Amino acid sequence: MGMKDRQRRAREMTRKMVKENLRAHLSNHRVEDVLRKIIAHIADSAKYIAFYMEDESRRLVGRQNAYGEHVLALDEYANVILKNRLEKETSFGIRQFASEELDTIKMLGKGEERYSVTVDPLDGSSLVDSNLAVGTIVGIHAGKLLGRRSGRKSLAAAMYIIYGPLTTLVYTVGDGAHEFVLDKAGNFVLSQENLRMKRRGAIYGPGGLKSEWLANHAAFIKYLEQDGYKLRYSGALVPDVNQIIIKRGGVFCYPALKSQKEGKLRLLFEEQPLAMIAEACGGLATDGQRDTLDIVPCAFDQRAPFYFGSRREIEMAHKFLAAG
């Protein structure tokens, strides 16, 4: 074995012995400098949110957000932390910022900055008072947020953070998805690299009222039940999607409903960042007709049906939804 091979093996052994933190992982994977700074900066913001949750998890703000949903103090805090810290950061600039807690896209820079950011600051916040896990979803886009580009062409990175028994972070820049855990010293350290879903999973999480399901979707769910899939659904999008990934496959879905033909979930804030992570894990995400990443977001609050999971389950969903 040559000197270079011994040095390479020594580096690999050292890396396995010492838990790699997020910043080192981004650097070792040669993530572009500005994008690396943004991901690390958002991860730092998530630490503030995680720490604050211990004290403020049950206090309601006396208002509703732009979509008529009650907002917890935590939602407001998470939104302010993410927006203000991005706006004040001087080592990089953000062109546009869009949050599910705001009613319009905000310009944070001069319009020439390389990246824009979307956030769902605290998805699942209605479950905080019952002490269930909730999460943050982030999409980092090259250029501006809305226009003629699909999510596939626009998204440079995607990530989510879960605040549960552990605070975990999953990110992708398109070449694999990686999980980190927040340790007691306040560092996100590598837990699992290159997360992968199997072609066929064993669990399913169906959103929406059953009485509101359309016939084709109801037939798909019935097929899963008859095929032995186990029901796993908490009602919080990020933990439910994370469960599909960590359990190595299955399907989460929030379908078109009789009263909401476009479904409930927002394309820009929730679906496309998660779809990017799904594909990085070897899975797929679809609205039942098109890959979620192939849709061009044309409106700030655009919604679409959402099926997320292993390739077999998504292929079966396509067959059922195309029938009749």
Give the model confidence (pLDDT) of 28-72 as tens digits: 999 999 999 999 999 999 999 998 877 665 454 445 556 555 555
Instruction: Give the domains, in start order, of the chain with CATH numbers.
Output: 20-192 (3.30.540.10), 203-322 (3.40.190.80)
Whether the Cβ atoms of residue 279 and residue 294 lie closer than 8 Å to each other? no
Cα 267 to the center of its chain, rounded Å: 11
190-228 residue pLDDT tens: 999 999 999 999 999 999 999 999 999 999 999 999 999
227-286 residue pLDDT tens: 999 999 988 999 999 999 999 999 999 999 999 999 999 999 999 999 999 999 999 999
Main-chain dihedrals φ then ψ at residue 3, nearest 5 degrees? -60, -45
**pLDDT value at residue 147:** 84
Between residues 73 and 135, the one the model is more confident about: 135
Whether the pLDDT of residue 123 is over 50: the answer is yes
Sign of the dihedral defined by the CA atoms of residues 188, 189, 191, 194, in that order: positive
Q: d(Cα 265, Cα 263) in Å, to the nearest integer?
A: 6
The burial of 283, by beta-carbon neighbours within 10 Å (0-12 exposed, 13-18 middle, 19 or more buried), is given as buried
Whether the Cβ atoms of residue 183 and residue 234 lie closer than 8 Å to each other? no
